[in-house]
Each structure stands twice: as C-alpha cells, then as structure tokens.
Chain A
Amino acid sequence: MILFGFIIFPLIYILINFLPVFHRLKQGLAIVFALINILLSVALLAEVKDAGMVKLEMGSWQAPYGIVLVADRFSAFMIAISALVILATVLYSYHSIDEERKQTGYFQFLFGIVMGVNGSFIAGDLFNLYVWFEVMLMSSFILMSHGGERKQLEGSIKYLILNLVSSFFFVAGIGLLYGKLGTLNLADISYKIFSHSDPWSSITSPLALIMVGFAIKGALFPFFFWLPASYHTPPPAVSALFAGLLTKVGIYSIIRFYTLVLYTNHEFWNLTVLSIGVLSMVIGVFTATSQYDFRKILSFHIISQVGYVIIGLAFFTINSLAAAIFFLGHNMIAKTNTYLVAGWVEKRTGTLDLKALGDMFRENKIWSILFFISAFALAGIPPLSGFVGKYAIIKSGIDSGHMLVALVALFVGIFTLFSMLKIWMEVFWKQRPETIESSPKQGPEKLMVAGSALLALGTIGMGLAGIPVMDYCNAAAADLMDPSRYVEFVLN
C-alpha cells in the first residue's frame, strides 16, 4: 500500500490547491507534503531493504493484465533521492519565488511533477510509464512558461515541441511493440523476449523508437539540444527542480529498460549505448567550457554527467551498474544545489552573466561554501560524493576491459573541474567590474539557505557514508543484473 501513497499524497495536495482561499496556508502545506513524501520514501527504503521488492496490483487485477506498481531497490533509491531534492526545492521556492507566481498555483504544478516523477519510478508497465511521463511533462510545461516572461515563452516552445516529439517516438514504439508481443507489462515483455528464440528481427525497430524517446527525455547526444536552449529561462528554483529530476527520469527508464529487455541483444545495444554515453560526456563538457552564463554552463554539464551514468550502464557489470546508480543519485543532489546557488546569485545581483559578476565570496560566505561543496562534488574532489561515484565508474570500466572509455571519463573529469573553477573564479573570487550596475531583489532568504544546505549535507553524507550507500547500490545492481528476479516477482 505504501506505493500508493507516492501518488495519492501529491494528488491530494493538488486538489487542495483548487480551493480559492487560504493562500498562505496552502503554501505552508507544500512543505508538509514534501515532508510526507520524504517519510514515505524512508519507509519504502526500509521495506525494500528486507523484502527486496514491493508490488501493488491496482484494482486487484493480476500482473500481466492489470496495471502494476513495482518498486525494487533501484526505484526506492531514486524515489528517496528525488524526495530529498523536492523538499529542498520546496523550501527554497518558499522564499525565492515571487508572490504572484505562488498565488497562481506554483506549488500545485510543482506537486504535479512530484506525482509524475514518483509514478515513473514505480510504474510496472510501459504505457503506465508513458502516462506518468505525460503527467510530469504537462506540469513541467506549465512551470516552464509560468509567469509569461518573453524568454520563458521562447524556452517553453523549444522545450515543449522537442518533448512532444519524444513522446510520439515513445508511443509509436509502445504501439508497435504491443502489436508484436501482445503485452505492455515490463516483466512480461522481458519474459517473452527471453523465452523466444530469435525475436530480434521484428522488434528491434519498436525498441529503437522507445529508446530514442527515452534518450530525448534524458538529453543524451544527439538529442540534447532542447535542454541548454530552455533550462536557463524559468525562475531558478524551477530550473533546479528540472535539472535534478526530469532528465534523470529518462535515464532511470533507460537503465530499467536496458536491464530488463535490451540486454538479450547485447551485441547491438551495448555498443550503441556505450558510444552515446561517451559522446554525450565529451560533447557536453566541451560545449560547457565555452559558455559565459552561469546556468548555461550547468545545463551543458547535465548532458556530460548523464553520459557518465550511461557508460556505467554500458560496461554492464554489477560494479559498474552500482556505480552508475550511485552517480545518478549524487548527480541529482549536487546538480540541483548548484542551480539553487545560481538562483541566489541572480537574486543578489540581478544577472547570471559571468563577466558582470564577482566578489560574491566577500558578500556571503555561507552561499559560497554551499556552492563550493556541490560544484566540487560534481568535479569529483574527495571526500565529496562525486569522487566516490566517478572513482567507482572508472574503476569498473578498467576492470571490465574498457580502458579507453575509462580514460576518456578521466579526461572529461578534468574539464568538469575546469568549468567549475571558472564559475568559482568568475562569480565568487574575482573583483566585480565597477562599471556594471547590480539590481538586487529584496526578500527573506532563510529557507533558501535551508534548502541548499540540506542538499549540501546530502552531498557530504553520500561522500562520507560512501561504503554503506555503495553496498546498497550493489544490492540494487545485483537485482537489475538478474532480471529473472524481477520477472518472477511481478508475474509470480
């Protein structure tokens, strides 16, 4: 029943928000519901730790016929990390989003995203996954354009069209796959393909369509262009939430789909996924280094860092998959936090152009340290979480014989460090150019610090408690590497 809570509580909050009164109370309730989400995810982690997997058959329809919600260790991990990101963003938004946006349903749509993200992580069949994607996307479209500033509208159009195209790829793939296999339940698809002797000639094209859909959502090379064109346009809290959650849902789906279905045609898919991962990693980081806008640098880095996760998946050993899961979790936390700091910088100075910024370290030490922690976690400096993740991915790559790819990953790490240092020097360290006027916005910042500090603590925690978290990821990866467990559990 606990799985149901992840969907019903955000839905309750959305419904409460339709009441036209009590604006203050409703905004306060957002924090309460984010806390409920965290408590639920902790409860799920505890339950999954013992049982391994949890499932819920909606309306008591048996597994291959009805809609089934499944959570294994991987889903529980993703839900827990995203719950942390959501709580931090809600706290941060409480003081950073302007009153007009808050009163016109900002938190309502934010919880639409929460519901969609939670649903995607526990969806047990493909069409259900598509529906949760749409729930998430509709809310994100609205948040993207919410407020109606000119650059926001431009960003939304690009974001909207490319994400719709990705949905069309995904649905077309689902339709064709259903036509061939007669099922949409992920476990059942996995079982049918596994027990079939040579299914590949007829279903490779639907699988490719579905993978293209996921790859557009996950902003992988060569489908990433929507991301840097749109993520720097909405209010900072919104882009922080998107950076932390939306692309990661696409990556989660790729990992789930690969380990359940695509692994049976290893020769073809492994090379494809590996090269996509390497290219995303390299191209993301190179384009990032040439940017001069705080949030644009971070946007391009998202592409580079999902590349790391994908090569971890493509090495396809238990260790590398565990490393990929760990890195995904670390990246969600650290990436969101860098965006949150960018939001603070914008609030204080009114701009995010690196050339016009400077001296932020002198202005506020706490925020500078918060940025330092998460940016250098992204760059992979010990003892922060990024070090553990990158080390594990590169080591597993060398162990599985992908020496060249591991070297490329190391090389990309140097450039990540370079662009994080660039932000640090330009925004926090150098003297601000005298000629440029700053236009700070007023308003309280206490909860903004609280949200950001929560994520920084998460980064430090994942770094210092690297071994227990990694052990958990190893158990999750072991489940993923043996899809028969998932199939047997879902289909009995």
Chain B
Amino acid sequence: MELVIAVFIGILYACGVYLILRRSLVKLILGVFILGNATNLIIFLAGGLERSGIGFIKDSPMETVQMSDPLPQALILTAIVISLGIAAYILALMYKFFKVTGTHDLDQLKNTEQK
C-alpha cells in the first residue's frame, strides 16, 4: 500500500510541475494546488499506514504497534487549512490580475523583470 501511494505522490508531483511550467496563469494555479496536495500526502505516508487501530489509547492497554501515528494527521489538518487560505488568496489575486490586465498569459509578466 505504501508503494502505491508513493508512486501516486510521484505522479502528482509530475503533474504539478508540468502545470506550473505552462504559460497559462490558470494552469499555474492548478499546479500549485496539486503540488500542495502531493506534499500533504507525503506527511500522511510518513506516519505509516496501518489497517487496524486508531491512534487513541483506551483504559485497557492495547498493542501500540498496530496503531497509526496520529500526529502526522494533525499536521496535515494544519497544512490543509493553510492551503485553503492560500487557495482563497491566490484565486482572488488571479481574478484581480485578470481584471487589471485582461490576460492570463504568463509571458505578459515581463514588466517587472530584471534586465
């Protein structure tokens, strides 16, 4: 199962990088979202995948080996909330940029470039 998810993460990264390198602003933003999700999956995988057992210790002592580590899941939750905020901002920025310039072509961003 770990291997499948690891390969899946690799594919997501490939898609994300491909989209980021496109000229369209919309695709750039989609690429950023995909990269963010791939990164969250890495944290998820780092905690280890266990089929049984949740990370919750009851009164009776139980086998802790079978538990999956709850901390990475808490970390992902934080990371997801942060990426939600960033997604909201980035969409607003794109809307504003489109309104001001009337284009979503990244090659038009040359005005601020260093010569």
Residues on A lying within 8 angstroms of B by beta carbon are 127, 131, 134, 138, 141-142, 145, 148-151, 153-158, 160-161, 164-165, 168, 171-172, 174-176, 178-179, 182, 228-230, 232-233, 287, 290-291, 296, 300
Minimum CB–CB distance from A188 to chain B (whole Å) comes to 13
CB under 8 Å from chain A, chain B span 18-41: 20, 25, 28, 32, 35-36, 39-40
Known contacts A127-B78, A138-B86, A150-B100; is A174 also within 8 Å of B113 by CB?
Answer: no
CA separation between A153 and B86, bound complex, in Å?
A: 16
Tell me whether B113 and A178 are in contact (CB under 8 A): no
Chain A hits for B101, CB < 8 A = 150, 153
Chain A hits for B28, CB < 8 A = 161
Chain B hits for A174, CB < 8 A = 43, 75
Minimum CB–CB distance from A167 to chain B (whole Å) comes to 8
CB under 8 Å from chain A, chain B span 88-107: 89-90, 93, 96-97, 100-101, 106
Tell me whether B43 and A232 are in contact (CB under 8 A): no
Chain A hits for B57, CB < 8 A = none
Tell me whether B112 and A232 are in contact (CB under 8 A): yes
Q: Pick the contact of B72 from A131, A175, A300 — CB < 8 Å?
A: A175
Q: List 5 A-B contacts (CB under 8 A).
A: A138-B85, A154-B109, A174-B75, A179-B48, A229-B114
CA separation between A171 and B40, bound complex, in Å?
A: 8
Instruction: Assess whether B14 is interfacial by the CB under 8 Å rule.
Output: no
Tell me whether A171 and B79 are in contact (CB under 8 A): yes
CB under 8 Å from chain A, chain B span 48-101: 48, 69, 71-72, 75, 78-79, 82, 85-86, 89-90, 93, 96-97, 100-101
5 closest cross-chain pairs (CB), A and B: A179-B46, A175-B43, A175-B46, A175-B42, A153-B97
Main secondary structure of the interface of B (DSSP, over half): helix
Tell me whether A164 and B43 are in contact (CB under 8 A): no
Known contacts A131-B78, A168-B35, A296-B114; is A179 also within 8 Å of B47 by CB?
Answer: yes
Tell me whether B114 and A172 are in contact (CB under 8 A): no
| A/B pair count, beta carbons within 8 Å | 99
Q: Pick the contact of A142 from B40, B89, B97 — CB < 8 Å?
A: B89
CA separation between A175 and B20, bound complex, in Å?
A: 23
Tell me whether B89 and A127 are in contact (CB under 8 A): no
Minimum CB–CB distance from A238 to chain B (whole Å) comes to 15
Most chain-A CB neighbours within 10 Å: which of B69, B86, B115? B86
Tell me whether B112 and A154 are in contact (CB under 8 A): yes
Known pairs A145-B93, A175-B42 / 18 extra A-B pairs, C-beta < 8 Å: A127-B75, A141-B86, A141-B93, A151-B111, A157-B25, A157-B106, A157-B109, A160-B90, A161-B20, A161-B28, A165-B35, A171-B40, A171-B79, A172-B42, A174-B75, A175-B72, A290-B115, A291-B114
Known contacts A151-B112, A161-B32; is A141 also within 8 Å of B89 by CB?
Answer: yes
CA separation between A232 and B115, bound complex, in Å?
A: 13
Minimum CB–CB distance from A213 to chain B (whole Å) comes to 11
Tell me whether B39 and A172 are in contact (CB under 8 A): yes
Chain A hits for B100, CB < 8 A = 148-150, 153
Instruction: Assess whether B45 is interfacial by the CB under 8 Å rule.
Output: yes
Chain B hits for A230, CB < 8 A = 112
CA separation between A153 and B89, bound complex, in Å?
A: 12
